[in-house]
Amino acid sequence: MKRCMESPVRSLGASVRAWVTLFGWSVVFCQTGIFCQRDAFCQEPGIRPDELALVKKAEAARVAAIEKVYGAVVAVYGADQSEGGGSGVIYDPAGFALTNYHVVAGAGNQGVAGLADGKLYPWKLIGVDPGGDVALIRLSGRDAFPYAPLGDSRTVRVGDWALAMGNPFLLAEDQKPTVTLGVVSGVQRYQPGVGVNELVYGDCLQVDSSINPGNSGGPLFNLQSQVVGVNGRASFQDRGRVNVGLGYAISINQVKRFLPDLLATRTAQHGTLDAVFGQRDGKVICHTLNLDSPAALAGLQLGDEMLEFEGQAITQANQLTNLLSTLPAHWPVEFQVARGETRQTIAVRLLPLPYGDAFAPPVEGPEDGQEEEKEDGKPDRETPRLLRGEDGFRPAEPGEIGDVEINRGVCELLLARTRQSLLAPPGEAFAVELHDTLLKDDRPVGEQTLTLARDGRLLVEVREGEARTRYGFDGQTYWSQRGVAPAVRLSPAEALAQPLLAQAAVLSRLLQPPAREKGKGSLLEGGDKVNGAAAFRLDWTEAAGRPAFLWLSSLPDAAEADPVRTLPVKFCVDREGVAPAVMLEDWRKAPGMLLPWRRRIVRGLSETPLFVLQTQECLVLKEVNDATFAAPQE
């Protein structure tokens, strides 16, 4: 008689089931008192009250973390809810929400969004990043939306808990999101893209939280209720639709760098050095270089060894590729190379990577970095809804602003929030007087007194050695006076070109009524780097003067969870910092307003310091004579 042998896996499974059954009955017997006198197992104490309390506390914290941001998770649908679909997350009470590019590629440029309150809200596309698979939409239909704060993906570690929320398989008929809990399985992962530089997942997070079709674009949360990633890709067993515990999320720090471009209604592009590095003898060596590229013109040569990029030591060529894939076009970078015994630090802006003729991903996004294949073996690249030109709409050409009116509206919102941050609730203070030390090379060389009124009028008095200089703004006119010479009237453009006046004039202009910002000049150009962090760059050109640019802090400190807090961080009369730029730092509360206690005057992409104004004392003035701000009469 022939006997069949079970596979080891099946035998093991049967054994496990037997032991589980035996253990279950043992628990029952122990709880009922049977065998308790004879079985040593039953003599072991159960979970202690203090241990149970810790378990319940952790459970309560997890539930609270979910409840805090549950209402910010979005179910994204197309206009007729029949084409496209996915998830998203609102990060701003004004209704701005993040999702995947491949979600809106299928859904189109507008649609409806479901929230946990069970209601559907209209949404409209603002900007797209085909290279990084990110899109920005804006919901409408209420004054303020629930939102989730954006965290810091640099703090994510392997083993951290990870909450994925979204609308898998479009199950949520009541619009309430599905929540899955897992751990971070890997960080700084790289998943190749499709097409021409599209859907590249660089420096991404790998999680075993269940991510299924429909989860695309939804948030990945830590247990502090902060968004640390945007879910977008998963591996499925046998190319079916069953999750096998391999999900990938775009790091939120990458998203932050691209948010200003998305808010500017741009089709964002990723950056390149226009050079290729490879591994050779344990070193990362430049083996291909466009000799007309900014990097080559700044000193990079074939055969150079990459030592450090953006403050990180480079030991692998793949590491450099991973880092570069997360940076926008025109992003300023600094890196160090070695050529023999020579070390050189190079600062340049990245060039844009091109897209194909029609940047069109598969509607449901790629799996395992591959495109879906048709029966003929060729990738299915059917043009998705977003790129069909329906209703006369197509995303902006790569790198271009798509909708100037929306852009100006976003710009005005940012400036209004900046004023709200600067102007604390009115108190008794009419003006403040700052007493500053003027520093060069960290040595005191002079003093400054800055008087600034809540309505924007100002007086700057600088003493450096025997030299005396005064600048002022009386509410209508800027002026300057050197020593005892007659005062000279300045146009707004001339005033903003004077660093010592500009460091006060930029605050003065922001304190003035919002009506002054409307019209020509206030346009959101996109993103830039200031002090190593992402920032909004605004074209702040005066209506009848030379160009002027203002940089605002891009995003709030995640610990404060307040996206409406926006502060000016830099001002210059040119984008590249050829002229001296003013850095506004160390913001502190004063009665009636918020002020920067340190103003650095810098130059160039590397923000090389020229001199510093450091506040030593801030005095509150309950009243100031109008003559204080007026130009001296002859």
Sequential DSSP letters for 361-373: --TT--BTTB--B
CB 133 within 8 A of CB 102: yes
* Residue among 549, 546, 565 at smallest CA distance from 557: 565
* Cα–Cα dist 333/619, whole Å: 40
* Residue among 457, 408, 399 at smallest CA distance from 433: 457
In this structure, what token pair is assigned to residue 297?
């013109």
* Cα–Cα dist 391/514, whole Å: 35
Interior/surface letters 61-98, b for 16+ CB within 10 angstroms, e for the rest: eeeebbebbbbbbbbbbbbeeeebbbbbbbbbbbbbbb
Catalytic residue among 133, 203, 261, 274: 133
SS3 (DSSP) at 613 = strand
* Cα–Cα dist 615/435, whole Å: 6
* Cα–Cα dist 480/190, whole Å: 56
* Cα–Cα dist 176/70, whole Å: 8
SS3 (DSSP) at 326 = coil
- 133: annotated active-site residue: yes
- 606: annotated active-site residue: no
- 216: annotated active-site residue: yes
Neighbours of 172 (CB within 10 A): 19
SS3 (DSSP) at 406 = helix
Task: Supply φ then ψ for residue 523, to 5 degrees.
Answer: -140, 135
Tokens 């006369």 correspond to what residue?
392
Task: Supply φ then ψ for residue 312, to 5 degrees.
Answer: -110, 130
Task: Supply φ then ψ for residue 359, to 5 degrees.
Answer: -75, 95
What are the C-alpha distances in Å from 233 to residues 78, 214, 223, 525, 618?
20, 10, 22, 30, 52
**Angle of helix 499-511 versus helix 404-422 axis, rounded to 10:** 100
Catalytic residue among 153, 185, 210, 216: 216
| Cα atoms in the 13 Å half-sphere on the side-chain side of 455 | 10
* Residue among 63, 102, 22 at smallest CA distance from 223: 63
Catalytic residue among 92, 102, 203, 304: 102
| Cα atoms in the 13 Å half-sphere on the side-chain side of 185 | 15
The amino acid occupying position 365 is G
Which residues form the catalytic set?
A: 102, 133, 216
